[in-house]
A and B are shown apart, each in its own frame.
Chain A
């Protein structure tokens, strides 16, 4: 069994009828519970629950304080290649987009790593587009080995790999994986992924499981909000986290709520979500899986990110460039999307401190030498 089988169970689920039956009293009871089941979680994503967002926030704040304390971990992404074979209609790296493509040489990766390290970062995410020609696994492995010299934690945000390939990268020093499903709706998935290896819905859906089997310590999950009905997406995203947590009990589960940002793509049929909805999703996830981490990316603006901190945020990026070699290259590769929050590391640290939280730069020790 994999998470694909769980998705099938809810394929014909009547969400509308479920939401219509949810009362205020039910929501109040759910918020008061110690442990939520999946239908409690779904109820917290209902229109009725919107009215109870403050009570949900208070609970999420307390949960997060107990399990994560007043700490927010800071990381930054490192883009090393943007060649891509996929045709994802919402992404700037879409292979049909005429953009400045680039792959850093290993020397350039080292230079970029040193610059990012000297800025103070110890946790990084390594990003590439999907191109086994320009950024093959062997290249990614070489990058991980270089990053290993400079950083405590290396998270992979690359294309879907086989279990054996993840094993190689874990052995080289990668410890975490971020793998956004984009949409849990199989039909829509096929419509927004027009071509390329990423078109295989099931292969992508099962990717976190392969990485966990290969020994990663932490996974980041979530749909890309804006492609489809957010309530269904958030529900399946939460179930995905619960499934991973149960199947791989040693793995930390993290959620983020990325919203579609302006990009070089052309997809216009958007189901946009507002800030209140982002908050409702984050809170429902925290109440459902109390020990899940919450990651807020620079897709959100600085004000929103500041305000979210006490609601249970455990990770934030800073000093973000989504360009290939954006920290050292004179002519970096095209950015993946426009960031909303362009603050430097120091500014983000100050913002976290001013909220009464501690900006943590290092919270991992590599398990490989």
Chain B
């Protein structure tokens, strides 16, 4: 049975989704349904449990059987990420947290160093920590050492929809890191998601690609299928593509 397990939790779908950028909270349940996603991230800064109108609270739109992962968007250092994680727990978001520490407003690249510091603290406090990182092998190893439950390296900067620009680095992380690797950010279309899964990523997260599509519900389904296809392709150990046709006059034909 091909199961994804994170922090002892069996996860049915290898397609994770983010809930920002959509045209309405109302569309989120339909997205969850068509994507069959089980792991859903929400920016803590967007959660308003005391919202004057219930439609303003995103949590009212996420099924209870989903695994809610609060992210620490807005944090510029470890201390702020830790604070936001604590608030997320106090807000009823559970203890799964995606650490997002960004002190670069131009490219929105994550700060691996501060992310590692926040991970060390939050793991000790009992959080299930999923750190969002630039794909650096040594940092990924340090995060494993710190007790992260998965690592979430980026394919390209957030929101760019550019695909797997960091492919070579992602491959190395997938090969060398023994905890689940979830490719996050930069996934712009289903084929990107399939490519990540074929490479052996354990899961993929997308948000902008869904939110900016004209039909977010339909593309969510397309992503689900692409992730499934990519996973099956990975498991089937496909033949290696050849750039050249087999030579009719082998160079080592004399070795008999």
Contact = CB atoms under 8 A, between A and B. Distances in A.
Interface of A: 65-71, 117-120, 122, 152, 217, 245-246, 249-253, 291, 353, 356-358, 360-365, 367, 369
A71 B19 CA distance: 12
B53 A68 contact: no
Given A363-B46, A364-B74, A71 B21 contact: yes
A66 B212 contact: yes
A71 B20 contact: yes
Interface stretch (B102-110, B129-137, B193-201, B248-256): B102-110
Given A250-B103, A360-B46, A365 B87 contact: yes
Nearest to B57: A362
Contact of A291 (B52, B105, B161, B211): B105
A106 to B, nearest CB: 23
Given A69-B208, A69-B212, A291-B105, A120 B56 contact: yes
Interface in B31-50: 43-48
Contacts of A246: 106
Nearest to A251: B105
A359 to B, nearest CB: 9
B113 interface: no
B160 interface: yes
Nearest to B86: A369
Q: Which range contains the number of B residues in contact with the other chain?
A: 35 or more
A212 to B, nearest CB: 11
B191 interface: no
Contacts, number: 85
A245 B80 CA distance: 20
A119 B52 contact: yes
Contacts of B160: 66
B192 to A, nearest CB: 14
A16 B46 CA distance: 46
A291 B208 contact: no
B45 A365 contact: yes
B48 A250 contact: no
A246 B48 CA distance: 32
B233 to A, nearest CB: 28
Contact of A69 (B20, B25, B76, B87): B20
A249 B108 CA distance: 9
Contacts of A362: 45-48, 51, 56
Interface in B81-108: 83-84, 87, 102-106, 108
In order of increasing CB-CB distance, the 6 nearest A-B pairs are A69-B21, A70-B23, A250-B103, A120-B52, A362-B48, A365-B45
Nearest to A365: B45
A120 B48 CA distance: 11
Nearest to B210: A69
B48 A152 contact: yes
Given A120-B56, A357-B23, A249 B103 contact: yes
A81 B87 CA distance: 34
Contacts of B46: 360, 362-363
Given A152-B48, A362-B56, A367-B83, A66 B23 contact: no
A67 B159 CA distance: 5
Contacts of B103: 249-250
Contacts of A360: 46
8 contacts: A70-B21, A152-B45, A245-B106, A246-B106, A249-B106, A252-B105, A357-B23, A364-B45
A67 B21 CA distance: 9
B161 A358 contact: no
B68 to A, nearest CB: 16
A358 B105 contact: no
B60 interface: no
Nearest to B84: A365
B110 to A, nearest CB: 12
Nearest to A153: B45
Nearest to A353: B24
Given A69-B208, A249-B104, A361 B51 contact: yes
Contacts of B47: 362
A358 B44 CA distance: 17
A249 B105 contact: yes
B105 A365 contact: no
